[in-house]
């Protein structure tokens, strides 16, 4: 009789544990980040401070360092959310595809023109090999605008797709590229190491939506509540950054593999320059500049008009701002 009661107790305990585990199961959201840079700090804060878990989400973070790989994984469902550049999403939208920008992130260019020690002026970029993220995104178009502004033609320099900012910095140190656009704190590290900072990219391209929060609507529309909770947690991460700069700098220093001093400096400068939007908004003027650039390169037909509805769905962001139930 005692053994039967013991077995019954164990079975009841097992059932309670199983039901409790199920009740508190988290929705897994795999997030792809284009590179290990300041743009991902809101996510890292939301993960570390428990904001994602408070919304019932287990958010992973993958640094893929390749725009084409990121978008391929987004389409295949290997990742569900991308903190990346808007260009491919925009091109996909104008082709009738399902990729969408669902929120903003980096509202302005945080980059500086970093060159090897021998290149001390912009004019000396003639003949240089400039490292870029990829052939169809981000710094590719920015480099072209800067080159044009300083009087260089496409045949006067070379662009090599190598990956994100940390990879560009490594290759610059190894002498495999001559220049590259670098955000802070990598720009600080470069100057300290004897490389040259020839100016801010936003002096040449003041309007540019550099990164955004992207998703495939084929997945997002069927997981609407998950997307809304993800954006809510991400906003909590941004709010924490504003209210707790010292704690944020510690997280940023660890993730960016830099010092707390440089992380603090970078976060302060990003705030002054209004790099990271505090409300995860997009900038229409910045997206319009991206659109016009894609028309000039032939990636979007010249007869198309700028239409946010073709490549954005901000209803997730709007709903995430409603009071919690």
Q: Distance between CA atoms of 316 and 228, rounded to whole angstroms?
A: 6
- Tokens 């199920």 belong to residue: 22
Residues 179/115, Cβ–Cβ less than 8 Å: yes
Q: Distance between CA atoms of 32 and 19, rounded to whole angstroms?
A: 32
Nearest Cα residue to 169 out of 250, 290, 248, 257: 257
Give the CA distances from residue 257 to residues 18, 48, 270, in Å, rounded to whole numbers and listed in that order.
40, 16, 18
Reported as a single tens digit per residue, the pLDDT across 227-277 is 999 999 999 999 999 999 999 999 999 999 999 999 999 999 999 999 999
For 56-70, 118-132, 144-158, 212-226, which range has the lowest pLDDT when averaged over its residues? Answer: 56-70
Q: What is the mean pLDDT of residues 161-185?
A: 94
Q: What architecture is domain 27-108+209-320? A: 3-Layer(aba) Sandwich (3.40)
How many CA atoms lie within 13 Å of 91's alpha carbon, on the beta-carbon side?
A: 14
Name the DSSP letter for residue 111.
E
- Tokens 């570390």 belong to residue: 48
Mean of per-residue pLDDT scores for the chain = 91
H runs (alpha helix) in 95-223: 139-149, 165-173, 186-192, 217-220
Nearest Cα residue to 143 out of 107, 180, 178, 175: 180
- Tokens 């309007």 belong to residue: 207
Segments of the chain assigned to CATH 3.40.190.10:
27-108+209-320, 111-203
Q: For strands 158-161 and 129-132, give the pairing.
A: parallel
How many CA atoms lie within 13 Å of 250's alpha carbon, on the beta-carbon side?
A: 6
Q: Distance between CA atoms of 159 and 154, rounded to whole angstroms?
A: 9
Q: What is the pLDDT of residue 175?
A: 97
Q: What is the mean pLDDT of residues 289-298?
A: 92
The CATH code of domain 111-203 reads 3.40.190.10
Q: What is the mean pLDDT of residues 32-52?
A: 94
Q: What is the pLDDT of residue 69?
A: 85
pTM of the model: 0.86
């Amino acid at each position: 009789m005692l053994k039967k009661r013991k077995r019954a107790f164990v079975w009841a305990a097992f059932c309670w544990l199983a039901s409790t585990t199920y009740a508190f199961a988290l929705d897994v959201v795999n997030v792809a980040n284009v590179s290990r840079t300041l743009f991902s700090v809101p996510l890292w804060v939301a993960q570390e401070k428990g904001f994602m878990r408070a919304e019932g989400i287990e958010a992973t973070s993958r640094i893929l360092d390749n725009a084409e790989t990121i978008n391929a994984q987004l389409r295949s469902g290997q990742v569900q959310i991308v903190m990346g550049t808007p260009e491919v999403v925009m091109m996909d939208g104008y082709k009738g595809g399902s990729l969408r920008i669902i929120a903003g992130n980096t509202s302005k260019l945080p980059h500086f023109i970093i060159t090897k020690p021998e290149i001390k002026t912009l004019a000396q970029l003639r003949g240089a090999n400039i490292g870029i993220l990829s052939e169809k995104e981000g710094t590719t178009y920015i480099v072209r605008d800067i080159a044009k502004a300083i009087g260089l033609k496409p045949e006067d320099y070379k662009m090599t797709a190598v990956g994100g900012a940390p990879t560009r910095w490594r290759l610059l140190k190894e002498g495999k590229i001559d220049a590259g656009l670098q955000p802070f704190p990598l720009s600080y590290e470069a100057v300290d190491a004897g490389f040259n900072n020839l100016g801010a990219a936003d002096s040449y391209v003041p309007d540019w939506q550099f990164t955004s929060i992207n998703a495939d609507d084929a997945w997002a529309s069927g997981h609407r509540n998950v997307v809304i909770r993800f954006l809510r947690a991400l906003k909590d991460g941004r709010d924490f950054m504003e209210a707790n700069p010292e704690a944020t700098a510690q997280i940023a220093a660890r993730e960016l593999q830099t010092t707390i001093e440089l992380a603090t400096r970078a976060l302060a400068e990003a705030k002054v320059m209004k790099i990271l939007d505090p409300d995860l908004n997009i900038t229409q003027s910045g997206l319009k500049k991206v659109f016009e650039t894609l028309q000039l390169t032939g990636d979007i037909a010249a007869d198309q008009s700028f239409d946010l509805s073709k490549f954005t769905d901000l209803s997730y962001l709007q709903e995430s701002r409603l009071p919690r139930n």
